[in-house]
Structure 1
Amino acid sequence: MGAHDHFHGHAQGGGHSHAAHAGAGERRLLIAAALTGIFMLAEVVGGLLSGSLALIADAGHMLTDFAGLALAWYGLRLARRPADWRRTFGYDRFTVLVAFANGLALFAITGWIAVEAVSRLAAPAPVLAGPMLWIALAGLAVNIAAFAVLSGGERNLNMRAALLHVIGDLLGSVAAIAAALVILFTGWTAADPILSLAVAALILRSAWRVVAESGHILLEGTPEGLDPRVVAEDLAGVPGVARIGHLHLWSISEGRPMATLEATPAAPDRAEAAVRAIKDRLAERHAIHHATVEIVAAAKAGESADG
């Protein structure tokens, strides 16, 4: 037997179901992107006419969201492409890149909102509360529709990032409505930038989680719920295996964990059986369906125990 045993490709089964989920997710993202893009234009006009920072900030956020939803849609389409000789793991990780980019975009937009809000607090500007209220109410309706479309889909990292954009828009509309009502009944225009800051803080907290999770995958960190020490100890107990070393766990994308490791079989002539037993154990107990196992002779294993 050769020095390496590789098991490439996706886990068997569920291919049709995965494609159906991806197709449904694409449609949901496309609808949400269309709703967001169309209403974004209305908010820009309304914000300029009314002088409302909350509306302009929400329109700017919706522009980022439109781009984010479009990217998420494209990410799902690209992820469906089969692996080829240049990208042997396929295009799954593109959806993680999209989620990471969307999270960074949310950081940028919240920073812009914060700067504008502080500027408005320092130099208050007049706000037409009536038009602002009606546009914000219409925006709320659009965002609720987009939220309903997306929330019924699969909750992978890419879809969660897209949904986060829509939730941010929804909160922005709620803040704009609240600010409009306060200004309408009290004339206190500071409510507009203050509520904009509150929404920015909520968006920032959620954006950090998306960036952290997607960044962890991009850095090939250990998948959530897996501990290399526990997995190594478990594999060491597989019949026919004398030693496990250099175990690495990471993910190509959310829900697609991978493993590489060295294994020393208990008997040299049982190497193939040991590899199969290791892969079966990884799949059955740890939901890892793609593993690369290198067989290491006992003498070499002893020499590299601390390597």
Structure 2
Amino acid sequence: MVIALSAGILLLEVAGGLLSGSLALLSDAGHVLTDVLALVLSLMAVRFSSLPATPAKTYGYHRIEILTALVNGALLIGISIGILYKAVGRFIDPVPIHSGVMMGVACAGLLANLAGVALLSGAPQSLNLRCARMHVVSDALSSVGVLLAGIAAGALRLVREAVDVLLEATPADIDLDDVSRAIATVPGVVEVHDLHVWSITTGLAALSGHVRLDGVGRDTSDEMLNRIKQTVRDRFGIVHTTIQIESLGYNELGDVH
């Protein structure tokens, strides 16, 4: 039963890690994999250790447990090296993480591990089964760690978004070059410069910029101004727009914009 629970957690965490992009879930899945193997080997060790001694093996099969520990240790070292390699790559080139999926899978894994601990607590207290229970306890602690990592990832994202708003950075969902090209498609516009897009608050962007027009009078410039604002609103959802209209021969006053 405990092996089935651990195998279910393994599949869930692999799927959740791939969907969410969470290295914490994938590394925990690697840990769970070693624990599934450890539980299987522990079960086999229990079976083999009860076999009687033979003329070839006069002490019987008691050291199967030591072989099990050796195999588990080698597996854990290999997986740890792989996780470390992946973590360095993620640090150099970060990828977005879906923390909601990550935390949901971690919660499910924690509940399943707690159930496994409860099941093994009622078993006979042999060294093998105590070792198996410790593996499941470590899985539960790993799930708690993944939950904390998910909370930390969400908190860091909130801080980053808040800092971007305070620094008047271009919103992540808006490409400034796309905005400039869209404005330039309005007939009569020959140049777009000093273009800025920033967030007043979450979901409310503002825009300012200078637009140079070719051969238009005041009435026409008012009409074109409305066209530009409509283009920006329809394409990018920006409704707070400030545009400075300039004639083709206009020369800016030094560093005054």
Aligned to 1:60: 30
- Which runs of 5 or more residues in structure 1 are unaligned? 1-30, 190-307
- Which runs of 5 or more residues in structure 2 are unaligned? 160-257
- State the TM-score, normalized to the length of structure 2: 0.56
1:134-165 deviation per Cα after TM superposition (whole angstroms, max 9, x unaligned): 10000011111222223444555433443343
Residue 100 (1) aligns with residue 60 (2): no
Matches within 5 A, 1:1-307: 31-187=1-157
Classify 1:153/1:96 alpha carbon distance in 2 versus 1 (closer, same or farther; 3 Å).
farther
Q: Distance in 1 between matches of 2:43 and 2:127?
A: 13
Classify 1:52/1:35 alpha carbon distance in 2 versus 1 (closer, same or farther; 3 Å).
same
Name whichever of 93-102 and 109-118 sits farther off. Answer: 109-118
Please state whether the residue corresponding to 2:152 is helix, strand or coil.
helix
1:79-121 deviation per Cα after TM superposition (whole angstroms, max 9, x unaligned): 1111122222111111221122223322222232222222212
Task: Give the letter aligned to residue 55 of structure 1.
Answer: L
Q: Distance in 1 between matches of 2:85 and 2:117?
A: 28
Q: CA deviation at 1:188?
A: 7.3
Q: CA deviation at 1:167?
A: 3.0
Task: Give the letter aligned to residue 23 of structure 2.
Answer: L
Q: Distance in 2 between matches of 1:115 and 1:151?
A: 36
Aligned length: 159
Q: Distance in 2 between matches of 1:160 and 1:102?
A: 15
> Is the 1:43–1:135 contact (alpha carbons within 8 Å) kept by the matching residues of 2?
yes
Q: CA deviation at 1:42?
A: 1.2
Q: Distance in 1 between matches of 2:124 and 2:83?
A: 31
Aligned to 1:279: none
Q: Distance in 2 between matches of 1:89 and 1:105?
A: 27
Classify 1:167/1:117 alpha carbon distance in 2 versus 1 (closer, same or farther; 3 Å).
farther
Question: What percentage of residue pairs aligned between the two structures are identical?
Answer: 42
Q: Distance in 2 between matches of 1:141 and 1:95?
A: 28
Relative CO higher for 1 or 2, CA cutoff 8 Å, sep ≥ 6?
1
Name whichever of 38-47 and 94-103 sits farther off. Answer: 94-103
The structure that has the greater radius of gyration is 2
Q: Distance in 2 between matches of 1:84 and 1:57?
A: 42
1:243-291 deviation per Cα after TM superposition (whole angstroms, max 9, x unaligned): xxxxxxxxxxxxxxxxxxxxxxxxxxxxxxxxxxxxxxxxxxxxxxxxx
